[in-house]
Copies of this chain bind each other. A is one copy, B any other.
């Protein structure tokens, strides 16, 4: 029997519709809308596309967006100044610095300069600390990890008491999603490039979250029947038949694993659309906090 396909596009659309209602209510009550500032310092096509998608998504739900497209030659001091101005701007409730930054800039310092109250990406170490600890609420939960948990919740997957395996331990996905699963009372295992007998460990999972960026690494015989799979990987593979010359696949061999899993996210159309929805959600939450 083939798995339920978790439709991230549809779930994300539902969430964006919910956000739109709340934004309208805020506007009616306070004559104010949430504002998101995007900071782009890159010639990279993918970064430009992401920022454009984020601004478009803001517009659709009524969130104001403030785009800052800066030359890649910008100095550390000049970029810090932009961040500080946005920190001080009361119409801005979220600041998103699109990564990666050019090599000559100190990413850690720039991200650390974003006001905690506007850190909608949730990447500040203080936020990650509060996220990791028990009984300490972070101001913002990072978007992609939050999106993974939303997908599980809105699919009706129980997390408590389940064995959750996270493949990957990055600061932006693997680690924070692992902490969220732990706080939801999963028995948590984190695997990575140094894990031995990886298929054996992955096979322990009732819930599997993959975020390693290795095209179709997880095969059908790596997973336990009935597993729920959230595939964060987005990998381009050459494809002369596609007019872009490539197509996207996840970290999981979808066609094989869907025959064993009980539910699985596709790539694209799974986690991807959730990240932007959660960014909007975080921006709205930030704005609600400032309005009291």
List the interface of chain A (C-beta within 8 A of B): 108, 124-136, 160-161, 163, 169-171, 175, 179, 182, 185, 187-192, 194-196, 201, 204
Q: Are B132 and A179 in contact (CB under 8 A)?
A: yes
- Return chain B residues, CB-CB under 8 Å to A185: 192, 194
Additional A-B contact list (7), CB under 8 Å, known A127-B129, A135-B171, A188-B190: A125-B129, A134-B169, A161-B194, A161-B196, A187-B195, A189-B189, A189-B190
Q: Are A175 and B129 in contact (CB under 8 A)?
A: no
Most buried by B among A127, A131, A188, A191: A188
CA A163 to CA B175, docked complex, whole Å:
17
CA A136 to CA B163, docked complex, whole Å:
28
Q: Are A192 and B187 in contact (CB under 8 A)?
A: yes
Can you list 25 contacts pairing A with B, beta carbon distance less than 8 Å? A108-B136, A125-B129, A125-B130, A125-B136, A126-B126, A128-B133, A129-B130, A129-B131, A132-B132, A132-B179, A133-B175, A134-B170, A134-B171, A160-B194, A161-B195, A163-B201, A169-B182, A182-B190, A185-B192, A187-B189, A187-B192, A187-B195, A188-B188, A188-B190, A204-B204
> Residue on B with the closest CB to A160?
B194
CA A131 to CA B179, docked complex, whole Å:
13
- Return chain B residues, CB-CB under 8 Å to A160: 194
> A24 to nearest B CB, angstroms?
35
> Residue on B with the closest CB to A196?
B161
User: Chain A at the B interface: mostly helix, strand, loop or mixed?
Assistant: mixed
> A232 to nearest B CB, angstroms?
16
- Return chain B residues, CB-CB under 8 Å to A204: 204
> A104 to nearest B CB, angstroms?
18
> A109 to nearest B CB, angstroms?
12
> Residue on B with the closest CB to A134?
B171
CA A170 to CA B135, docked complex, whole Å:
10
- Return chain B residues, CB-CB under 8 Å to A179: 132
